[in-house]
């Protein structure tokens, strides 16, 4: 008989990795549809670019490693990485952003460690941070909701904007909205920009622009990803420990900050329904490979991530911070797991004379 030594993730699941990954991708559909409704075709194109690049890179690396290509490609792990990264990238970022990010995710963040189960960082978030640090202008060019765009903009314009940098009428991304609105196209960006102008979060939130991008667009997007996350918990793909702990801790920190310093800290509702809060809680932090593997460890891991997100959002250089928090928490997982492993049944510890 031949002994087969398998790598993590080891999950007590009756479903295969292929089915689990497919359900994670399926749970993203409500969020993707909501993004499409408010911002157009951009994110779908980014996901397709990431998907094609992911499959090509995965196949190339598997051929070079002399591994079974179609068998491993069918586990849908590359599919999930592509979908998560495509959702995270600004919808109308240049096409090469998605391609470069996916190459980094598949080759450097995944296969350089040995492939699925061996990587220590979430590939999609590692790629997102790489893109954000390397190409900050492209990664912060969020378009406004279509209802706020004053110039003509349709499906063909979106495609042209991604692949050429201009719409069919020759307008650039910055011309599709007010110049200052492009850098404030998410609620967290708007609040951060307002604080630099000595405005309070309450003042920023009274502006029509914030009301449109916050309540009308990003709130529903976060709720859509919450629905997808609940689906994953019902299907027992995701346990409650990480997402619920993350949201509760982030909400409590926001509430404490809001009560003590409302001039700088937004309300918990803004914190939880803006940026990547729900997306990060249910789809990023819960990665079975890079998250903690014990129940107690999951709670510690999620608590650490929530604290980091709060600190980065309000005291760091970036308005969101979920990706950075995830990567830092990933680095702490081996230590967390080491100290939270359940005691072996029957073990009483060292005796007093030892």
Q: How confident is the model over 54-105, as pLDDT tens digits?
A: 999 999 999 998 888 887 788 889 999 999 999 999 988 999 999 999 999 9
Query: Do 25 and 172 fall within a single domain?
Result: yes
pLDDT band for position 228 (50/70/90)? very high
* Confidence at residue 156, expressed as pLDDT on a 0 to 100 scale: 85
pTM higher than the cut 0.75: yes
Query: Do 217 and 167 fall within a single domain?
Result: no
| SS3 of the chain: helix, strand, coil, percent, to 5 | 65, 0, 35
What integer is the mean pLDDT of 265-282?
87
User: In this model, does residue 208 exceed pLDDT 80?
Assistant: no
How many independent structural domains does the chain possess? 2
* Long-range contacts, stretch 321-325, CB < 8 angstroms, 24+ apart: 322/125, 322/275, 322/276, 322/277, 322/279, 322/280, 322/284, 323/88, 323/125, 323/128, 323/129, 323/132, 323/276, 323/280, 323/284, 324/129, 325/280
Query: Do 174 and 77 fall within a single domain?
Result: yes
Query: Do 171 and 212 fall within a single domain?
Result: no
User: In this model, does residue 263 exceed pLDDT 80?
Assistant: no
User: In this model, does residue 351 exceed pLDDT 60?
Assistant: no
For 216, the domain range is 184-338
Q: Which residue has the higher pLDDT, 18 or 11?
A: 18
Is residue 347 included in any domain, yes or no? no
What percent of the chain clears pLDDT 70, i.e. is strictly above it? 78
Query: Do 165 and 34 fall within a single domain?
Result: yes
What integer is the mean pLDDT of 224-239?
94
Query: Do 24 and 155 fall within a single domain?
Result: yes
Query: Do 94 and 156 fall within a single domain?
Result: yes
Q: How confident is the model over 116-142, as pLDDT tens digits?
A: 888 899 999 999 999 999 998 888 877
* Confidence at residue 4, expressed as pLDDT on a 0 to 100 scale: 55
Query: Do 170 and 38 fall within a single domain?
Result: yes
Query: Do 122 and 249 fall within a single domain?
Result: no
User: In this model, does residue 1 exceed pLDDT 60?
Assistant: no
């Amino acid at each position: 008989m031949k002994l087969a030594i398998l790598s993590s993730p080891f999950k007590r699941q009756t479903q295969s990795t292929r089915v689990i990954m497919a359900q994670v991708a399926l749970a993203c559909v409500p969020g993707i549809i909501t993004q499409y409704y408010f911002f157009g075709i951009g994110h779908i194109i980014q996901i397709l670019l990431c998907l094609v690049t992911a499959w090509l890179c995965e196949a190339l690396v598997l051929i070079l490693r002399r591994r079974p290509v179609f068998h491993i490609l069918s586990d849908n792990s590359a599919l999930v990485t592509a979908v998560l990264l495509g959702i995270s990238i600004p919808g109308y970022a240049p096409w090469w952003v998605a391609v470069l990010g996916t190459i980094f995710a598949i080759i450097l963040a995944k296969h350089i460690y040995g492939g699925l189960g061996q990587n220590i960082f979430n590939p999609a978030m590692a790629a997102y941070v790489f893109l954000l640090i390397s190409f900050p202008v492209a990664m912060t060019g969020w378009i406004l909701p279509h209802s706020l765009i004053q110039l003509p903009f349709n499906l063909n314009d979106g495609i042209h904007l991604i692949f050429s940098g201009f719409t069919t009428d020759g307008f650039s991304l910055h011309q599709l909205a007010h110049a200052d609105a492009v850098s404030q196209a998410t609620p967290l960006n708007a609040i951060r920009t307002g604080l630099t102008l000595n405005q309070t979060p309450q003042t920023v939130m009274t502006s029509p622009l914030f009301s449109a991008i916050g309540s009308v667009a990003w709130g529903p997007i976060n709720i859509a990803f919450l629905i997808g996350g609940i689906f994953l918990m019902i299907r027992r793909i995701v346990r409650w420990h990480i997402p619920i702990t993350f949201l509760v801790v982030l909400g409590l920190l926001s509430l404490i900050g809001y009560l003590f310093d409302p001039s700088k800290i937004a309300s918990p509702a803004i914190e939880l329904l803006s940026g990547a809060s729900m997306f990060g809680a249910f789809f990023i932090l819960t990665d079975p490979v890079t998250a903690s593997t014990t129940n107690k460890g999951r709670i510690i891991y999620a608590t650490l991530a929530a604290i980091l997100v709060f600190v980065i959002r309000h005291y760091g250089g970036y308005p969101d911070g979920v990706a950075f928090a995830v990567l830092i928490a990933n680095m702490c997982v081996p230590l967390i797991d080491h100290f939270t492993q359940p005691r072996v049944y029957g073990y009483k510890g060292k005796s007093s004379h030892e």
